[in-house]
Amino acid sequence: MNRFLGILAVVGEDGTIKVPLDMLQTAGIKPNSKVELFSDTSNLFVRTAEKFCDICRTNTNTTSVGNQEICKPCLDRITQAAQEKSQTEAE
Ligand SMILES: [Zn+2]
């Protein structure tokens, strides 16, 4: 038996599971957003399927930078801008 790691939730007749909002928040899942579910023989996984870039608002895979979620193209732009800036300052 695995050590009990989480909280107990009761599954409703219709399959409804109430997940505490702070757990959703930790996982980056916002109310009314879509999640991806997958399961194996003893686990059910819930993963956010909607991640939005804080800069361009694109629904895509994002990287956490500080407390922001930033997509790859925006991250590349920022990195490049930072490099150009430091090059200018070095001259
Ligand atoms: Zn972006």
> What's the 86 CA to ligand 1 centre distance in angstroms?
22
Question: What are 11-66's pLDDT values in tens digits?
Answer: 999 999 988 888 888 887 888 888 888 899 999 888 877 778 889 988 777 888 88
Contact 35, 44 (CB under 8 A): no
Q: How far is the CA of 69 from the centre of ligand 1 (A)?
A: 8
pLDDT surpasses 70 at 72: yes
Cα–Cα separations (whole angstroms), residue 19 to 3, 25, 30, 47, 87:
20, 10, 12, 13, 49
Task: Calculate how far, in angstroms, residue 62's C-alpha sits from the geometric centre of ligand 1.
Answer: 8
Q: Where are the domains of the chain?
A: 1-49, 51-91
Q: How far is the centre of ligand 1, averaged over its atoms, from the C-alpha of 90 (Å)?
A: 28
**Which architecture does CATH list for 1-49?**
Ribbon (2.10)
